Amino acid sequence: MRLLKAVFLHIILAAIILGSLALQAADQDWPLLKVSGVMIIMLSAFSVLSLVLWAKGAAIAREIRDRTMTWWWMVAVFLLAISTDRLAVMVLIGGISFMALREYFGLLPNRGLASGRGWFRDRLSVWLCYAAIPMSIWLAYIKWYETFIILVPVYFFLLIPVVFVLQNRTSGTIRALGYISIGLMFFVFCLGHGLFMVNLGGMVLLYCFFLTELRDLLSYWVGKGLNALGERCPKSCFWSGVNAKIAPSVSPKKSWGAGLLTAGLIAGVSTAFVPLFPRFPDGVFDVPFAIVVGFMIGLLGLMGDLVFSMIKRDLGTKDSGTLLPGHGGMIDRVDSLVLTVPITFHLIFWRYF
């Protein structure tokens, strides 16, 4: 029975991916087709690696298999959305924002928000945060940029404390306001910039998502490589500086050397997208600017990872959830995007629109 289920899921997965590629080919979207092909080749390589490790009985084989299979599904759904319609991509991003926000609030039942009967008072503010998501989708779809960019950080941000006042609250309000506002700004406003990024072109969104997730992958192997080299020269001042920890209490393994080297690699990969971008209203995506944006994605992706490591340590949890096998929760997958998406959007919007 389990084998039949696995075969059925693999057939659905293959159908989604092949259907997405067929749509891209029908639209003659060759740049998108090329990037899709690269992602499929990378995932295929990791699938083969997981099978080899599984055959050898390696302890890490199961984790790599689960992570790779989850990546297959995430990439398949993303490619299907970006290959169909602008609204489909926006709904997908809105769904990701909703799941991340819901996961975030689920981590705070007895910390920042009221518990017991008092929790009912916080639900109205939480529902307002959720309501901001479809409103942002609509504003992005009709391209009302001026309203979109102030909806959450001005109107909703100011509305929540007003709701608290109308509820006649006093005790615990600052803490509850802090937790709710952070969730609203991170997962609705910052991550929600991906909604309007779709209007700049599907390749812009794919560029940001691809480089951000690639940074997460590269940082792991770069960090391991630099640590191994440092262990060979334990008394070297150079390697001690390279492996200096950024915030050891937040993440003991994150070093400045690995972070900056990974950001440099991402800047290099960013230049490969230059010929894939369409012509923008105010010019073309050039190599120097690609290096700047790529390096910013690499650096901000690192900071996003650290910011949410800090939050999870404060909450006493390792993973934000179990939604994505091998990865943890939705927040564990989008933590870097929370910082890279808005900055990438504003850099490209400022330069070319």
Alpha-carbon distance 309 to 319, whole Å? 9
Number of domains in the chain: 3
| 233: three-class secondary structure by DSSP | coil
pTM to 2 decimal places: 0.92
Taking the alpha carbons at both ends of the chain, their separation in whole angstroms is: 54
pLDDT of residue 49: 86
Mean pLDDT of the chain: 89
The CA distances from residue 198 to 107, 190, 204, 265, 351, in Å, are 30, 14, 7, 25, 16
Q: What is the DSSP letter of 301?
A: H
Which of the listed residues 50, 84, 118 is the one where a domain comes to its end?
Answer: 84
Same domain, 228 and 349: yes
Q: Report residues of the chain scoring pLDDT below 70.
A: 1, 109-121, 230-231, 234-241
Same domain, 131 and 182: yes
pLDDT of residue 161: 94
Handedness of CA 191, 195, 200, 206 (dihedral sign): positive
Same domain, 274 and 302: yes
Alpha-carbon distance 53 to 190, whole Å? 38
Q: Are 254 and 216 in contact (CB under 8 A)?
A: no
Predicted confidence (pLDDT) per residue in 69-119, tens digit = 999 999 999 999 999 999 999 999 999 999 999 999 988 765 556 554 455
Which of the listed residues 168, 200, 232 is the one where a domain comes to its end?
Answer: 200
Residue 277: give the domain boundaries: 201-353
Count of Cβ atoms closer than 10 Å to residue 9 Cβ = 13
pLDDT of residue 236: 67
Same domain, 205 and 290: yes
pLDDT of residue 253: 85
pLDDT of residue 54: 85
pLDDT of residue 232: 72
Which of the listed residues 36, 65, 84 is the one where a domain comes to its end?
Answer: 84
Phi, psi of 328 (to 5 degrees): 110, -130
pLDDT of residue 321: 75
Pull the structure tokens for residue 174. Answer: 């600052």
Same domain, 235 and 196: no
